[in-house]
Chains A and B, each alone.
Chain A
Amino acid sequence: MTEEPYRWIEAIANRREYIENQLAAGSPIAALSCADGVLFVTVSREQQKLFEIYDRIAMGGIGHPGDIERLRMSAIEVASAEGFNRSANDVSLRRMAAYSLSPVLKNAFEQIYGPPFLARMLFAELGRNGEPDLLLRLDYDGSFHVNGGAADPERFAAISGKEHSAKMMEQFLSGKQCAHLSSAEALPVALEAWVVGHLTLAREEGEFPSSEEIATHRQEQLRTGTLEAVLLDRRAHSNTTFRPLKM
């Protein structure tokens, strides 16, 4: 089958559709940079969705728990081995994603006889010495997109089960000025972004939800789900900056 290139392309397209369908129900994750650090927010049902990867790196993922777990372990291993072999300052999210995770994801995605990773991830790295924070979205096919860093003034990122839902979240966040907010002030903003993402997930592409819709949906969802929020704390006294937040 794979001797014929167009069949391979077709197989890849089918596979993409299959994965997108599998991810479609995934609860969104919003991350934004604020004065206290980088804040991650989602609402989860049973499983923990936000994880510590290394001293200054955190991760959130949607998709199959088994695949998220494998990618999480891999990220922790790569970062820890680098941090031990060289130093904690040599661990870099950009390099980890570009050189370690992305090639493996792409490879798995394109080897059409093997299983792909059913996972979409959002990583963040706390900037060192006043440098801007980095937010990185990594997809099942190995493609990744960086927000933040030196070139990009956008200090937020979102992932969701569907592309238009994530776009709505980013549209929502792009109007907010969070850089000077404390984590307590930024938390409702990030939660609202999640609500926008979750609302639009259930519908086809279209209008931006009204503020009444957002408020009712937020109330409904918090009744059944658990708010999960973590902070990469810019002001942490120890090397470990990852800290779960209570509302």
Chain B
Amino acid sequence: MENFGMRRAQNGLPGAAMPDFTAVLRRYGVLQEPPPVQANPAGQSQDPLLAGLQTQATTILAFKFCGGVLVAGDRRATAGNLVVYDRADKVLEIDRYSLMAIAGVPATAWEMARMLEHSFQFYRRSQLQELSMDGKVRALSKLLRDNLGMAMQGVGVVVPLFAAYDTEEATPRLYFYDVMGAKFEVADFAASGSGSPSVRAVLQYANAYGPRPLAKMNEEEAVLLALRALDTAAENDTATGGVDRHGRVYPLVKIVNQAGISTLPDAVLVKAYQRDLQSLPKNALTLVETE
């Protein structure tokens, strides 16, 4: 631990007037100022060489159902044509009631998640109260905005989803963000990443023409729909990982509601897959190992 105190002027412990954690980190020299926002000089959105070097996390989705907000992500991380990792966690717990799901470059996204987690805790500890829902949502906007300089040069683009249970209003909330940090609150569902066109189509269809809208679904139906949406994405998008039958790697599904965050165990997902399989015609795609 550095001798932070001694670096200040005499008697100069920090004041209480600055509760912002990023400002504290900058003062301690832990965090650099964000780079200036500058377009890529080549005029390209991304250097093709860079595309092969940058690890990307792909497909995530979230929607509201009657038991809160469900957030799910596949497990694949890619760089260009290469599969880098098949057990990536793209659905991250920020605090007891907040989830962040990431699509884009994990190097940046995981750091953003860490920053959020720490700044919420820092706020609670220093101000002796929880940060409000709006404050939390805004904090992620600010991190994205700080990342814009890098994103414009094609490095570290992150497009996250933020799902939380609003304890003040006693209601689940779901937001998606663009690269610049604009936040959009959604009423029913959101998806991000390379597989998101398929996911959106599936969710849109289920919401509008399914037996019941997403918001009316129970947990079992919601989980099944999420898995089906991710499977559809994996069929259409090479960067989205399906179910790895040999490695027994399943998507990550988390639910946030008034009780906090729960992670669905693999056994529940396997059961959902198996039930799904039985209800399909005989020659349908085999999704899970037949045990």
Which residues of A does B touch, CB under 8 Å? 48, 51-54, 69-71, 73-74, 76-78, 80-85, 90-92, 95-96, 99-101, 103-104, 107-108, 111, 114-115, 238, 240
Closest approach, in angstroms, between the C-beta of A112 and any C-beta of chain B?
12
**Which of A51, A53, A78, A115 touches B11 (beta carbons < 8 Å)?**
A115
A164–B15 alpha-carbon span in the complex (Å): 33
A52–B30 alpha-carbon span in the complex (Å): 22
- Judge whether B135 is part of the interface by a CB distance below 8 angstroms: no
Say whether A81 contacts B96, CB under 8 Å. no
9 closest residue pairs by CB, A with B: A104-B5, A74-B13, A81-B28, A100-B5, A85-B30, A95-B1, A84-B118, A70-B13, A108-B11
Which residues of B does A touch, CB under 8 Å? 1-6, 8, 10-11, 13-16, 21, 24-25, 28, 30, 96, 114-115, 118, 121-122, 124-126, 128
Closest approach, in angstroms, between the C-beta of A176 and any C-beta of chain B?
31
Say whether B5 contacts A114, CB under 8 Å. no
Closest approach, in angstroms, between the C-beta of B9 and any C-beta of chain A?
10
A96–B2 alpha-carbon span in the complex (Å): 9
**Which of A84, A92, A104 touches B13 (beta carbons < 8 Å)?**
A104
Closest approach, in angstroms, between the C-beta of A203 and any C-beta of chain B?
34
Say whether B11 contacts A111, CB under 8 Å. yes
Say whether A76 contacts B25, CB under 8 Å. no
Which among A73, A76, A81, A115 has the highest number of chain B CB atoms within 10 Å? A81
How many contacts between A and B, using CB within 8 angstroms? 87
Say whether B128 contacts A77, CB under 8 Å. no
**Which of A77, A99, A114 touches B3 (beta carbons < 8 Å)?**
A99
Contacts of A99 in B (CB 8 A): 1-3
Say whether A78 contacts B4, CB under 8 Å. yes
Which among B4, B8, B15, B125 has the highest number of chain A CB atoms within 10 Å? B125
**Which of B3, B16, B30, B124 touches A73 (beta carbons < 8 Å)?**
B16
Contacts of A90 in B (CB 8 A): 1
Contacts of A95 in B (CB 8 A): 1
**Which of A69, A84, A92 touches B16 (beta carbons < 8 Å)?**
A69
Say whether B16 contacts A70, CB under 8 Å. yes
Nearest CB in chain A to that of B19: its residue: A73
Contacts of A73 in B (CB 8 A): 13-16, 126
Say whether A100 contacts B11, CB under 8 Å. no
Given known pairs A69-B16, A77-B24, the reply for A52 and B125 (CB within 8 Å) is: yes
Say whether B11 contacts A92, CB under 8 Å. no
Say whether A54 contacts B128, CB under 8 Å. no
Closest approach, in angstroms, between the C-beta of B21 and any C-beta of chain A?
7
Say whether B15 contacts A100, CB under 8 Å. no
A84–B120 alpha-carbon span in the complex (Å): 12
Given known pairs A73-B15, A74-B13, A76-B122, the reply for A84 and B114 (CB within 8 Å) is: yes
